[in-house]
């Protein structure tokens, strides 16, 4: 398969340190045409941009993940805003709310999320949203700020997916659709309009079946595409073609 666009990856993760360059070479030889590498704090946003500057087909997102909201300072947001002015930085992300782990207090998560939604508006950039068990507050803020962007690794219901799409936003689906207990993501895969669907790895995490338990990378996306294709009654290559076109459109590539 070809024309694979991975809309959400973390190749800056230390799990890639032993073989990052060889792996990326293999990934680009396996039909991958584009990767968005997402930051989760200032340091990883800088590393993402460095990767994007070294690899023609890697693009960066810069942002502060809800887990890191408490440890981020005002200065970090200013520096992230600077990174966003770089040509290879195409989105604000990943940003959002995580009430599953609650690694940062919720009021601070919300504050940092809102500030980054404002930055995205100012810079006219799409956002990459992380929402884990925080659907209600996430939707409230998305309705308030109406950003362009994607809710990645979408874990809400089919009903919520429709609401997100109504706001003009995209839905990102990854390895979770291949998991045995994947009722919700599969029901979402069935209802997202063709022009609002993105595919992603979230690598090194969320490895699709039958490689679950191993380190994930973009060359495994066809396993995810197969499941989405089956649900939608089209071919996996069609899923890849559609999602590559959508990613290029959203991220202005
Ligand atoms: Ni991620």
Distance 198 CA to ligand 1 centre (A): 14
Other Cβ atoms within 10 Å of 169 Cβ, number: 22
State residue 217 phi and psi, 5-degree precision: -155, 170
Distance 9 CA to ligand 1 centre (A): 6
pLDDT in tens, 89-135: 999 999 999 999 999 999 999 999 999 999 999 999 999 999 999 99
Distance 222 CA to ligand 1 centre (A): 19
Q: Which of 175, 202, 173, 206 is nearest to 190 (CA)?
A: 173
* Domains within the chain, CATH numbers bracketed: 4-251 (3.20.20.140)
> What would the two tokens of residue 68 be?
């890191």
Instruction: Say if residue 74's pLDDT is above 90.
Output: no
Distance 8 CA to ligand 1 centre (A): 6
Helix (H) or strand (E) holding 7: strand 4-9
pLDDT in tens, 148-189: 999 999 999 999 999 999 999 999 999 999 999 889 999 999
pLDDT in tens, 2-52: 999 999 999 999 999 999 999 999 999 999 999 999 999 999 999 999 999
pLDDT in tens, 221-242: 999 999 999 999 999 999 999 9
Give the Cα separation of 106 and 92 in Å (integer). 20
Distance 36 CA to ligand 1 centre (A): 10
Strands of 58-62's sheet, edge to edge? 4-9, 32-38, 58-62, 89-98, 127-132, 149-151, 170-173, 197-199
- Whether the bond between 210 and the residue before it is cis, its omega within 30 degrees of 0, is yes
CB under 8 Å to 247, separation ≥6 — which residues? 5, 7, 34, 36, 198, 253
What dihedral do alpha carbons 174, 35, 203, 197 form, nearest 10°?
A: -10
Distance 230 CA to ligand 1 centre (A): 25
Which of 6-15, 53-62, 69-78, 128-137 has the least mean pLDDT?
69-78
- Whether the bond between 94 and the residue before it is cis, its omega within 30 degrees of 0, is yes
Q: Are 96 and 129 in contact (CB under 8 A)?
A: yes
pLDDT in tens, 201-214: 999 999 999 999 99
> What would the two tokens of residue 108 be?
């601070």
């Amino acid at each position: 398969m070809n024309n694979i666009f991975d809309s959400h990856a973390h190749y800056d993760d230390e799990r890639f340190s032993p073989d990052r360059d060889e792996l990326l070479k293999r990934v680009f030889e396996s039909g991958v045409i584009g990767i968005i590498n997402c930051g989760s704090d200032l340091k990883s946003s800088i590393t993402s941009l460095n990767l994007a500057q070294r690899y023609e087909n890697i693009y960066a997102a810069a942002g502060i993940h809800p887990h890191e909201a408490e440890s981020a300072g005002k200065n970090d947001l200013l520096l992230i805003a600077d990174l966003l002015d770089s040509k290879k930085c195409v989105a604000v992300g990943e940003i959002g709310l995580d009430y599953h782990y609650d690694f940062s207090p919720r009021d601070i998560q919300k504050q940092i999320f809102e500030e980054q939604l404002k930055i995205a508006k100012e810079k006219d950039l799409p956002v990459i949203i992380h929402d884990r068990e925080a659907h209600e507050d996430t939707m409230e803020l998305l309705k308030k700020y109406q950003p362009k962007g994607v809710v990645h690794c979408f874990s809400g219901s089919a009903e919520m997916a429709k609401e997100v799409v109504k706001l003009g936003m995209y839905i990102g689906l990854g390895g979770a659709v291949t998991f045995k207990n994947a009722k919700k993501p599969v029901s979402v895969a069935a209802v997202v309009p063709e022009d609002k669907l993105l595919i992603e790895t979230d690598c090194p995490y969320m490895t699709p079946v039958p490689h679950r338990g191993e380190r994930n990378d973009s060359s495994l996306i066809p396993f995810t595409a197969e499941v989405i294709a089956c649900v939608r009654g089209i071919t996996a290559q069609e899923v890849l073609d559609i999602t590559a076109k959508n990613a290029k459109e959203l991220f202005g590539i």
